[in-house]
Amino acid sequence: MPAGGFSVSAPAGVEFEAKITPIVIISCIMAATGGLMFGYDVGISGGVTSMDDFLIEFFPTVYRKKHEDKESNYCKYDNQGLQLFTSSLYLAGLTATFFASYTTRNLGRRLTMLIAGVFFIIGVIFNGAAQNLAMLIVGRILLGCGVGFANQAVPLFLSEIAPTRIRGGLNILFQLNVTIGILFANLINYGTSKIHPWGWRLSLSLAGIPALLLTLGALFVTDTPNSLIERGHLEEGKRVLKKIRGTENVDPEFNEIVEASRIAHEVKHPFRNLLLRRNRPQLVIAVLLQIFQQFTGINAIMFYAPVLFNTLGFKSDASLYSAVITGAVNVLSTLVSVYSVDKVGRRLLLLEAGVQMFFSQAIIAVILGIKVTDHSDNLSHGWAIIVVVLVCTFVSSFAWSWGPLGWLIPSETFPLETRSAGQSVTVCVNLLFTFVIAQAFLSMLCHMKYGIFAFFSGWVLIMSVFVLFLLPETKNVPIEEMTERVWKQHWFWKRFVDDDEHTLNGDAEKNGVNLS
Ligand code: BGC
């Protein structure tokens, strides 16, 4: 790998000529459906698993436990099978990312999105028509494959098709759509819970709408110029570039993509390259950000809010509409991030949110510790409202910090040559830890009781200290200048990048061999 591999872009600060053309707008709609689909899957299972009709049909033991007085409040829903219904999606998703990394590179972004759409549609059919637990789980696994393919291809597709000046905004737009998907799912659960006995089927089947939209979208859009050029279709790549940028003057950008793809081709083993010492800072940060994002405990709320509120003694209806409230707070607060991320910066958002998340969770732990014993009756109305407000305080701070930034920061820090492999690792680690939370939360709630919130607040403390000392600010730094302007300047991370500089030539090969 030549040392020049670090900066393959046009000279710093040069913007390529680009209009916001209809095709770019269609891309935004694509992002919406990919994100909506992911969010819908995240949000739908909690509400469904709190519905009695669903439990009677698939989890009769949980149904009996839920209505038995002798069961501890905290343990009503502790059932591995029930958790598997939620978590199997993420397990399948993380496995699929590895295939998705291959298909995005070799078949293109568009075809990968199409594959995702087809997985989604078949998964929705299995879920909506489920006659037994096996069909239900197979459906979730297929949806998970869809998530694995979509979450790899859609963000890449977007960042390649977007003009530079709206790239960051588009990235968070994806997260915004995830939150809208979650909110939709909560609203739909609220409505369908009143339809007996098949409301849950409707909840699961309505995922077909974003799935169909994504599939149709993938059929009609063109692949990105970067992907076409990477696969050797130079002429077509240039033609598409002119079309999406709305100008004939695309040579500078075209040349940059050709150069970038030449360098990308030199990297024989992108994943092995990722392990080189000089890529360590980005890799460590991408992996830790995903682990931290999930250990904020957000998905304990997103997946299980209705179940959680029910545990605290809310009636079914109140549980579901409380979940709608937290879902709405999630969407609105994400807008705060879209607006402020390039103004106040990533670090400030993460640090402020750290304080807010820590206190809201710690106070929830104290209130539950005092008020919800194993067999106590419901939380009184006043206390219940305070808990919902605290959950909202927690969700809002997550939504303007760890939610979008957990995805944004890894996507902007990797150098081009490892960006796509870095994206796979990011998605994979994220889904792995999402799986862990999905599979373990209800059991942890049963064993740790209110302490679960103290546990998550402890993690928030650790991640905030990490941000304070080890996360550099990446606001307003052009993507191809990160190494020079961020990593080489950082008090801690510079040792990895600097040391490597003079041994760079041929280093990749050498390390590659050592690592194999
Ligand atoms: C996370 C998801 C989470 C969602 C909540 C995303 O950034 O990756 O796991 O459910 O935010 O809004």
Q: pLDDT tens across 490-501, in order? A: 999 999 987 654
The mean per-residue pLDDT over the stretch 303-322 comes to 78
Distance 398 CA to ligand 1 centre (A): 9
* Strongest mean pLDDT among 5-9, 40-44, 259-263: 40-44
Distance 396 CA to ligand 1 centre (A): 12
How would residue 385 be classed by pLDDT, with cut points 50, 70 and 90?
confident
How would residue 209 be classed by pLDDT, with cut points 50, 70 and 90?
very high
| Residue nearest ligand 1's atom 12 by CA | 179
Q: Percent of the chain, pLDDT > 90?
A: 51
Supply 198's token pair: 């098949």
Q: CA distances (Å), 511 to each of 267, 269, 416, 508, in order? A: 12, 11, 19, 5
pLDDT of residue 212: 94
* Strongest mean pLDDT among 12-16, 223-227, 286-290, 422-426: 286-290
Distance 311 CA to ligand 1 centre (A): 23
Distance 39 CA to ligand 1 centre (A): 8
Distance 24 CA to ligand 1 centre (A): 25
- 46 against 12, higher pLDDT: 46
Distance 407 CA to ligand 1 centre (A): 9
User: Are 74 and 371 a contacting pair, CB within 8 Å?
Assistant: no
pLDDT of residue 17: 82
DSSP letter assigned to residue 131 = -
For the chain, give the longest Cα–Cα distance.
74
How would residue 512 be classed by pLDDT, with cut points 50, 70 and 90?
very low
Distance 281 CA to ligand 1 centre (A): 24
Mean pLDDT of the chain: 86
| Residue nearest ligand 1's atom 6 by CA | 403
pLDDT of residue 506: 44
Angle between helices 22-49 and 109-128 (to 10 degrees): 30
The mean per-residue pLDDT over the stretch 320-346 comes to 90
| Residue nearest ligand 1's atom 7 by CA | 403
Count Cα atoms within 13 angstroms, Cβ side, for 11.
0
Asked if the model's pLDDT at residue 391 lies above 90, the reply is yes
Distance of alpha carbon 390 from the chain centroid: 23
Q: Ligand 1 pocket: which residues have CB below 6 Å?
A: 42, 175, 178-179, 182, 293, 298-299, 302, 330, 403, 406-407, 430, 434
**Torsion region of 476: left, alpha or beta (phi above 0 gives left; psi -120 to 50 gives alpha):** left
Asked if the model's pLDDT at residue 171 lies above 50, the reply is yes
Supply 300's token pair: 């304990």
Burial 77-109 (b: 16+ CB within 10 A, else e): bbbeebbbbbbbbbbbbbbbbebbbebbbebbb
User: Are 457 and 397 a contacting pair, CB within 8 Å?
Assistant: no
Count of other CB atoms within 10 angstroms of residue 295: 20
User: Are 364 and 393 a contacting pair, CB within 8 Å?
Assistant: no
pLDDT of residue 69: 66
Q: CA distances (Å), 402 to each of 71, 130, 353, 459, in order? A: 35, 35, 8, 13
Distance from first CA to last CA of the chain, Å, rounded? 17
- 416 against 230, higher pLDDT: 230
Pocket of ligand 1, candidates 175, 301, 411: which has the most ligand atoms within 8 Å of its Cβ, to mutate? 175
Distance 42 CA to ligand 1 centre (A): 8
How would residue 15 be classed by pLDDT, with cut points 50, 70 and 90?
low
Asked if the model's pLDDT at residue 27 lies above 90, the reply is no
The mean per-residue pLDDT over the stretch 295-313 comes to 83
DSSP letter assigned to residue 222 = P
Asked if the model's pLDDT at residue 9 lies above 80, the reply is no
Pocket of ligand 1, candidates 299, 334, 336, 408: which has the most ligand atoms within 8 Å of its Cβ, to mutate? 299
* Atom nearest to 182 CA in ligand 1: 12
- The pLDDT tens digits of the residues spanning 240-249 come to 999 999 999 9
- Quick one: which of 93, 111, 94, 91 has its CA closest to 103? 111
| Residue nearest ligand 1's atom 11 by CA | 403
Distance 348 CA to ligand 1 centre (A): 20
pLDDT of residue 431: 94
The mean per-residue pLDDT over the stretch 451-455 comes to 93
pLDDT of residue 157: 86
Supply 446's token pair: 């049963």
DSSP letter assigned to residue 248 = S
- 99 against 502, higher pLDDT: 99
User: Are 300 and 440 a contacting pair, CB within 8 Å?
Assistant: no
Q: What is the pTM of this model?
A: 0.85
How would residue 2 be classed by pLDDT, with cut points 50, 70 and 90?
very low
Distance 403 CA to ligand 1 centre (A): 6
At CA 454, angle to CA 448 and CA 457, rounded to 5?
140
The H helix count followed by the E strand count for the chain is 24, 0
- Hey, CA dihedral for 182, 35, 273, 480, is it positive or negative? negative
pLDDT of residue 485: 87
* Atom nearest to 402 CA in ligand 1: 7
Burial class (CB within 10 angstroms; exposed 0-12, middle 13-18, buried 19+) of 2: exposed
* Atom nearest to 407 CA in ligand 1: 7
Q: How many residues does the chain have?
A: 516
Pocket of ligand 1, candidates 178, 289, 334: which has the most ligand atoms within 8 Å of its Cβ, to mutate? 178
How would residue 464 be classed by pLDDT, with cut points 50, 70 and 90?
very high
Asked if the model's pLDDT at residue 6 lies above 70, the reply is no
pLDDT of residue 421: 85
User: Are 124 and 211 a contacting pair, CB within 8 Å?
Assistant: yes
